[in-house]
């Protein structure tokens, strides 16, 4: 899920927020300021409850960010590239560009998140105890105690052995270590998701509590995410050991670097089968051009701008057309790390066709 806006960088990792965070932020603030706090400590001014709810929600999301930062920092230390961290409706996600290279790395990356949340829960609980001993304001004690409880709950929930939760990745690391097969933990996430959906709907129908719908929503997310992760795992399994030369078109049609963008887009040869073509200059390939990226060149300039001028060559000749996202240029193809995983993702369409034929060789998921 892409970030709606970027907050900045922490430890060199870009941190963004999706607009759906506003929904859960509002739910937390409203639930605390109009429910738990006035019920536990009545008689305070309404501004006190609202201020306490706002502060608690901010601290909660800071705790959530710390959880994801734990994943991201440990991932980088284990050689896994991190794209960014995005906070959204149902929590946060540290988006990793590549997979862990070993069961031990998978264990460390997955396990640090719940440990961070558990540690924060313990620290907040200790703080609430100290405040209570010092006869601190009741509302403040309740704020800190709620934050402690939600962090412990976050740690416990994420430790459930179901993909894509951290516990599911821990289970995958264990099975990977024991059997050499990293595909077996994904089905558990679908089962747990269905169970949460059923329990949430039953709770809502019997009590009318909003928490039941929230539980069902979390279950639905687990089903969708576990299904997607299972397909990705099958894809990687199906393509494991398949060299790129066996999946690519032999002697592909190339685009001369001095071809204009208009000529490239109107030439019928470049509309057959493929959406990306190698760019050549005096024989050898020097880059890559895609139809989608070429269409982004303004029509008024397309007859004057060549593929070379537009950026369809690699480092040393210019940036690569098709390697730009959101106005930024990504690293040249030849220097990109994690290229093997990138190739696997780009071959998803091929894998979808192959999976039914190879399913009997993939084992249980």
Q: Which residue has the higher pLDDT, 97 or 229?
A: 97
Mean pLDDT highest for which of 14-28, 201-215, 229-243?
Answer: 14-28
pLDDT of residue 311: 62
Rounded average pLDDT over 216-239:
74
Q: Which residue has the higher pLDDT, 237 or 73?
A: 73
* Entry pTM: 0.63
Catalytic one of 39, 68, 106, 301: 68
Question: Do residues 122 and 155 make contact, with C-beta atoms less than 8 angstroms apart?
Answer: no
Whether the per-residue pLDDT at 173 is higher than 60: the answer is yes
pLDDT digits (tens, 9 = 90+) for 155-165: 998 888 776 77
Nearest to 19, CA basis, from 9, 10, 8, 6: 6
Catalytic residue status for 39: no
DSSP string, 2-48: --SEEEEEETTEEEEE-TTHHHHHHHHHHHIIIIIHHHHSTTS-HHH
Whether the per-residue pLDDT at 357 is higher than 50: the answer is no
pLDDT of residue 317: 46
pLDDT band at 241 (very low <50, low <70, confident <90, very high): confident
pLDDT digits (tens, 9 = 90+) for 35-82: 889 999 998 999 999 999 999 999 999 999 999 999 999 999 999 988
Q: Which residue has the higher pLDDT, 32 or 196?
A: 32
pLDDT of residue 251: 79
In three-state secondary structure terms, 274 is coil
Compute the mean pLDDT over every residue in the chain, rounded to the nearest whole number. 78
In three-state secondary structure terms, 323 is coil
Mean pLDDT highest for which of 201-205, 223-227, 258-262, 337-341?
Answer: 258-262
Question: Do residues 226 and 186 make contact, with C-beta atoms less than 8 angstroms apart?
Answer: yes
Rounded average pLDDT over 167-171:
83
């Amino acid at each position: 899920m892409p970030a709606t806006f970027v907050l900045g960088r922490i430890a060199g990792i870009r941190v963004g927020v999706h607009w759906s965070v506003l929904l859960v932020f509002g739910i937390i603030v409203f639930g605390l300021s109009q429910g738990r706090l006035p019920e536990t400590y009545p008689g305070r001014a309404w501004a006190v409850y609202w201020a306490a709810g706002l502060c608690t929600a901010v601290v909660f999301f800071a705790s959530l960010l710390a959880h994801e930062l734990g994943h991201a920092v440990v991932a980088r230390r284990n050689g896994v590239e991190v794209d960014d961290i995005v906070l959204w409706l149902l929590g946060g996600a540290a988006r990793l560009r590549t997979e862990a290279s070993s069961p031990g790395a998978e264990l460390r990356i997955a396990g640090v998140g719940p440990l961070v949340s558990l540690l924060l829960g313990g620290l907040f609980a200790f703080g609430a105890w100290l405040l209570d001993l010092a006869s601190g304001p009741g509302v403040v004690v309740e704020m800190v105690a709620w934050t402690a409880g939600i962090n412990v709950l976050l740690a416990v929930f994420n430790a459930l052995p179901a993909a894509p939760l951290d516990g599911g990745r821990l289970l995958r690391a264990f099975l990977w270590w024991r059997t050499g097969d990293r595909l077996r933990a994904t089905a558990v996430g679908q089962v747990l998701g269905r169970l949460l959906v059923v329990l949430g709907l039953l709770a809502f129908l019997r009590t009318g509590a909003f928490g039941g719908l929230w539980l069902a929503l979390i279950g639905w997310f687990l089903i969708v995410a576990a299904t997607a992760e299972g397909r990705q795992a099958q894809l990687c399994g199906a393509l494991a050991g398949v060299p790129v030369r066996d999946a690519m078109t032999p002697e592909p049609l190339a685009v001369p670097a001095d071809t204009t963008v208009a000529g490239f887009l109107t030439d019928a040869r470049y509309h057959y089968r493929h959406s990306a073509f190698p760019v050549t200059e005096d024989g050898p390939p020097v880059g890559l051009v895609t139809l989608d990226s070429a269409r982004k060149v303004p029509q008024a300039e397309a007859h004057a701008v060549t593929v070379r001028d537009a950026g369809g060559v690699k480092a040393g000749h210019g940036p690569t057309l098709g390697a730009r996202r959101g106005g930024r240029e990504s690293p040249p193809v030849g220097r990109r790390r994690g290229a093997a995983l990138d190739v696997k993702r780009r071959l998803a369409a091929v894998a979808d066709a192959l999976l039914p034929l190879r399913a009997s060789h993939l084992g249980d998921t």
